[in-house]
Amino acid sequence: MTRAFLLLALACAFLLSLAVPWISLPSDLAWSVLVELRLPRAMLAVTYGAALGACGAAVQTIFANPLASPDLTGTTSGAALGAVIAAYLLEFASPFALSLGSVAGAMAALGLLLALAGPRAETSTLLLAGLAISALAGALTTLALALAPSPFAFYDAYEWLMGSLVDRSLSQSLFALVPTLACIAVLMTQVRALDSLALGEETAQAIGYDIRRLRLVIIAVTAIAVGACVAVCGAIGFIGLVAPIFARRLTGGRPGSAILPAALIGGVLLLAADLVVRLAPLGRTLPIGVATAVLGAPFFLWLVTHMRWKLSR
Amino acid sequence: MTALLSATGLSISGRLEQTSLTVDGGQLVGLIGPNGSGKTSLLHALAGIPPAIGEVFIDGRVPRSLPPAVRQQLFTFLPASRDVAWPLTAKHFIELALPPDSDWTALSERLELGGLLDRRMDRLSTGERTRVMIARALAPDPNLLLLDEPIANLDPYWQIVMFEELRNRARSSRRSVVMAIHDLRAALEWSDRLLLMNNGRICADASPAELRISGRIEEIFRVSLDWPAAIVSADPRSSP
């Protein structure tokens, strides 16, 4: 029932994204606008939102922390750095090369995370290591931008880093969609194992789940899905934090079962954010990464305050 | 007749040394020993929690090779920690790893869980959480229960209710309970058999009456069993 409702909401938001703002055009031009501009944009919003939602739910579960998200494990920053290096230092510009660079960056961040924190690290250690990697990747990305071959390249990279769904082709959206669907399929096979983590790590292990392997699978899958999306659209934050929190309210708090709802909610949220960006009367289109940050940061602050209040009770 | 639990070569580096153990059906086995003696490590090794190594057979089967649903019918494990990772309701917590058609209403009535089921685990008292966690371990109706400090945080009334529940289960020839317990008096009163641990090994295996007479408990724990308890002068490190 919940899934059906979420699917319906996603379908409505998708159709709205194709239709709004409504403009009257000759039929061949309208078709071009629909297929070449709006369809890739809506597909990317659903894909990226679903990737962030599903991966956010999985990452929050393995870290047993509702504040964890691909941003906090360094995955997004590593992916952005990998793509920037591929695009502006090695002068690769094809979507495939960018995707490879991005996934490689996310994987490198993962490798560094494991090297720093170790495979059996405490959650707090993993999160601290993730924050350190984010800071390092951010600094190296700035350095890579400073070394960009031209001001135009610098501006392109800067705008891409802020996150955008505009002017992407159908083939680019497929570069994000295929790995994302594969990764969500893998995550769906881990739902029971992730659910069992709500009973505690020792109990989950006694039930028969290999938590060390599960952790590695989740981080690798997250790196691939988020890396592929970052390569096409740049860095978009907060969806991976917010969507799983709403999703768990629909699953009785079960963290693994929240993966699919979180993917659907993530898709709806990013489509909605894109509509806000399109319709905002600002004279120019805001990067969607900026919009999700402006809308998501207050929610993040509320969450931190709420958790602190609960802990101090 | 094969033993319900048979374990050999259980070992965890620095915590548990080459331990073997056999438990027949119908036994309530108490695991006692000073802090750091290896009680929790032995339970972890029996439950197959890494990094333990060794062979474990329960009801003639190797739990490690079985899928989670079957494994839970063979044994369940109650960890020492009463912390919860996610704010599930007590009902969702108990049902999380259960098959959908499981009926645990009778268990819920016996443990008087009715008023707790719709409340979030992180909002229950530690004692209430303990009752819910024990119910979760009992709900799959396993052959073997591995319980780490099952009565910690329970008031005297609930300690007796829980021990009676465990003893009733252990009356069946295909059911047993192995529990680590710090309360010596409770261990001596309720257990059918006691395993005394020290320095990562089982150093005594006897009935409560035999162990009480042997003087090994005073020797290892360095306290008298009289009431009120008093410290005696034995050094536990000198004991094998």
Average pLDDT over residues B102-108: 91
pLDDT at A92: 56
Q: Which positions ≥6 away from A292 have C-beta within 8 Å?
A: A163, A236, A237, A238, A239, A270, A273
For residue B44, name the pLDDT band (cuts at 50, 70, 90): very high
CB neighbour burial string for A89-110, b if at least 16 within 10 angstroms, e if fewer: eeebeebebbbbbbbbbbbbbb
In contact, B44 and B12? CB cutoff 8 Å: yes
The pLDDT of residue A313 is above 60: no
The pLDDT of residue A4 is above 70: yes
Average pLDDT over all residues of chain B: 91
Say how many CB pairs under 8 Å bridge A and B. Answer: 77
Which residues does chain A have within 8 Å of residue B81's beta carbon, measured at their own beta carbons?
Answer: 200, 202
Burial of A8 (0-12, 13-18, 19+ CB in 10 A): exposed
pLDDT at B240: 46
Look at A207 and B88 and tell me if their CB atoms are within 8 Å.
Answer: no
For residue B234, name the pLDDT band (cuts at 50, 70, 90): low
Classify strands B176-180 and B193-198 as parallel, antiparallel or unpaired. Answer: unpaired
Which residues does chain A have within 8 Å of residue B89's beta carbon, measured at their own beta carbons?
Answer: 252-253
Cα A4 to Cα A146: distance, rounded to the nearest angstrom: 48
| pLDDT tens readout for residues B142-178 | 999 999 999 999 999 999 999 999 999 888 778 999 9
pLDDT at A49: 95
Mind telling me how many Å the CA of A135 is from chain B's nearest CA? 28
Pick the residue with more confidence: A312 or A238?
A: A238
| pLDDT tens readout for residues A39-59 | 999 999 999 999 999 999 998
Look at B47 and A206 and tell me if their CB atoms are within 8 Å.
Answer: yes
Look at A199 and B76 and tell me if their CB atoms are within 8 Å.
Answer: no
pTM, full prediction: 0.87
| pLDDT tens readout for residues A137-190 | 999 988 888 877 777 777 777 777 777 888 888 888 888 899 999 999 999 999
C-alpha B18, offset from chain centre: 20
**What ipTM was assigned to the predicted interfaces of this complex?**
0.91
pLDDT at A89: 65
Cα A22 to Cα A33: distance, rounded to the nearest angstrom: 11
Give me the torsion for CA of B96, B97, B99, B103, rounded to 10°: -60
Pick the residue with more confidence: B6 or A234?
A: B6
Mind telling me how many Å the CA of A224 is from chain B's nearest CA? 27
Taking phi over 0 as left and psi of -120 to 50 as alpha, with beta for the rest, A103 belongs to alpha
- What radius of gyration do chain B's Cα atoms show? 18
The pLDDT of residue B238 is above 60: no
Give the best-scoring range by mean pLDDT among A167-176, A292-301, B86-95.
B86-95
Pick the residue with more confidence: A30 or A205?
A: A205
| For B147, nearest residue in chain A (alpha carbons) | A203
pLDDT at B1: 55
- Domain range list for chain A: 39-312
Residue length of chain B: 240
| % of chain A with per-residue pLDDT over 70 | 93
Which of 3.40.50.880, 3.30.420.40, 3.40.50.300, 3.40.50.80 is the CATH number of B5-238? 3.40.50.300
Interface of A with B in 127-156 (CB under 8 A): none
CATH 1.10.3470.10: does it fit domain A39-312?
yes
- Per DSSP, what are the bridge partners of residue B198? B201
pLDDT at B177: 97
Cα B141 to Cα B235: distance, rounded to the nearest angstrom: 42
In contact, B208 and B59? CB cutoff 8 Å: no
Which residues does chain A have within 8 Å of residue B95's beta carbon, measured at their own beta carbons?
Answer: none
Helices (H) and strands (E) in chain B, counts: 9, 9
| For A195, nearest residue in chain B (alpha carbons) | B96
Answer whether the bond into residue B140 is a cis peptide, omega within 30°: no
Taking phi over 0 as left and psi of -120 to 50 as alpha, with beta for the rest, B2 belongs to beta
Average pLDDT over residues B215-236: 77
Mind telling me how many Å the CA of B151 is from chain A's nearest CA? 18
In contact, B232 and B224? CB cutoff 8 Å: yes
Which residues does chain A have within 8 Å of residue B72's beta carbon, measured at their own beta carbons?
Answer: 207
The pLDDT of residue A7 is above 80: yes
Look at A196 and B96 and tell me if their CB atoms are within 8 Å.
Answer: yes
pLDDT at B157: 95
Answer whether the bond into residue A21 is a cis peptide, omega within 30°: yes
Nearest to B86 among A202, A208, A253 (CB): A253
**Tokens representing residue B39 in the block:** 């009680």
| DSSP letters for A123-187 | HHHHHHHHHHHHHHHHHHHHHHHHT-SSHHHHHHHHHHHT---TT--HHHHHHHHHHHHHHHHHH
The pLDDT of residue B67 is above 50: yes
Give the best-scoring range by mean pLDDT among A271-285, A295-309, B27-41.
B27-41
Mind telling me how many Å the CA of B142 is from chain A's nearest CA? 12
Average pLDDT over residues A280-296: 79
Look at A205 and B49 and tell me if their CB atoms are within 8 Å.
Answer: yes
| pLDDT tens readout for residues A216-266 | 899 889 889 998 898 888 888 889 988 999 999 899 889 999 999 999 999
**Tokens representing residue B41 in the block:** 């490590």
Which residues does chain B have within 8 Å of residue A209's beta carbon, measured at their own beta carbons?
Answer: 68
Which residues does chain B have within 8 Å of residue A252's beta carbon, measured at their own beta carbons?
Answer: 88-89, 92
Interface of A with B in 273-292 (CB under 8 A): none
The pLDDT of residue A90 is above 90: no
Cα B29 to Cα B134: distance, rounded to the nearest angstrom: 17
Helix (H, G, I), strand (E, B) or coil at B80: coil
| For B146, nearest residue in chain A (alpha carbons) | A206
Which residues does chain A have within 8 Å of residue B83's beta carbon, measured at their own beta carbons?
Answer: 200
Give residue ranges of B with CB < 8 Å to any A CB. Answer: 44, 47-50, 63-64, 66-68, 71-72, 75-79, 81, 83-89, 92-93, 96-97, 120, 136, 146
